[in-house]
Amino acid sequence: MNKKSDPSWAGSLKSYPKRKGKPLSPTEEMVDSTISEWYSEKHRRPTAEEAAMVNSARVPGCPFCGSRDLVRDGKRRDGVQKYLCRSCGRRSNPLTGTVFDSRKIPISEWIEYLLHLFEFHSVVTSARDNRNARTTGVYWLRKAFAVLEGCQDSVVLSGDVWLDETYVSVDKKDRVAKGGKGLRGISRNKIAIGVATDGESLVVIPEWASKPSKKRTLATFGKHIAKGSRLIHDGDNSHSLLIAELGLGSEVHPTSETKGLPDSENPMDKVNDVHALFKRFLREHGGYAREDLQGWCDLFWFIWSDPASRMEKAARFIEMAVSTRKRIKYREVFRKKVDK
């Protein structure tokens, strides 16, 4: 289905069609005027406050050669400071080499986009609400994944740690059938997502296997759980090496005993709550590519973690994006794969 035959396709308001060489009818004039007004409201120019925010970002050195021999070189029309590198002679600004490099839309428009992500809106509905093309939403999502890459690396859980796996299906094209029917239960058609929490912090990481091994579980959680903590789990054999290597206490609650228990009586409730929220989060993005699972896990972790305020969370993300040197090119995101 292409964008012309798909009624859910959300084009930019700027793409509102006008008939060349033919006057618009009074009704079309009204629609055109209203859409133009909407577009102006949704797509304002960068403000002085935005320029001040960008100029406040720390510039560690030339984004091209790494030299620290930078001098101020005036300002752009939008008020953003420019720099000249006296080593390589190239010019830059605080956004050069970041996900906001060469932006055509003000950074302030990310605020509504981020709030939608934090509220579990799908990328398509968010693009529609923001009056952007759907491709813009997808492009920005790739940028969000790049900014959040590695955000869980330094998380270390301690004390009582609840650990359990939840599962998602592999992509439809990769599913295995037997006798014309899909495999049931935990099989090659599933991917395990390891989830652990101490009630204050969280790690959620794809284990890239339907049935994680002892070594894989240790590799996944070994650096995220403090030695001597107490692991509260379902007794799966894959957890045994992790317990032994980190000297963890072990409190086992088999699924056969906890199944059907009300939340208030279920000793695995803390991790089960995370599972339920994570599954709900993924359902809102049912068309996601499984190869992006780590990006989705990082985004979920960011949403789940402090600060609780969505506005503070949006501000934190933008600060991370401005200080992270990762540039994502539009053509690379939407480049068509050529059959070899």
Tell me the domains of the chain and their CATH numbers: 26-96 (no CATH), 98-148+309-335 (no CATH), 160-304 (3.30.420.10)
Q: For every residue of 192-252, which 3-state class applies, written as one string?
A: EEEEEECCCCEEEEECCCCCCCHHHHHHHHCCCECCCCEEEECCCHHHHHHHHHHCCEEEE
- Inter-residue contact 162 to 268 (CB < 8 Å): yes
At 14 the pLDDT is 54
State the pLDDT confidence band at 333, using cuts at 50, 70 and 90.
confident
User: Taking residues 313-327, what's their average pLDDT?
Assistant: 94
d(CA 109, CA 133): 13
Quick one: DSSP state of residue 44? P
Quick one: DSSP state of residue 289? -
Q: What are phi and psi of 39, to 5 degrees?
A: -60, -45
Asked if pLDDT for residue 19 goes beyond 80, the answer is no
Asked if pLDDT for residue 263 goes beyond 80, the answer is yes
Average pLDDT, rounded, for the chain: 87
Asked if pLDDT for residue 8 goes beyond 70, the answer is no
Quote the pTM value. 0.83
Coil, strand or helix at 71 = strand
Q: What are phi and psi of 92, to 5 degrees?
A: -155, 180
At 185 the pLDDT is 62
Cα dist from 319 to 83, 109, 124, whole Å: 20, 14, 25
Q: 231-241, pLDDT tens digit by residue?
A: 999 999 999 99
Helices of type H across the chain: 26-42, 48-55, 109-118, 123-129, 134-148, 214-221, 240-246, 255-258, 269-283, 293-304, 310-323, 330-333
Contacts of 123 (CB under 8 A, 6+ apart): 134, 137, 138, 141, 285
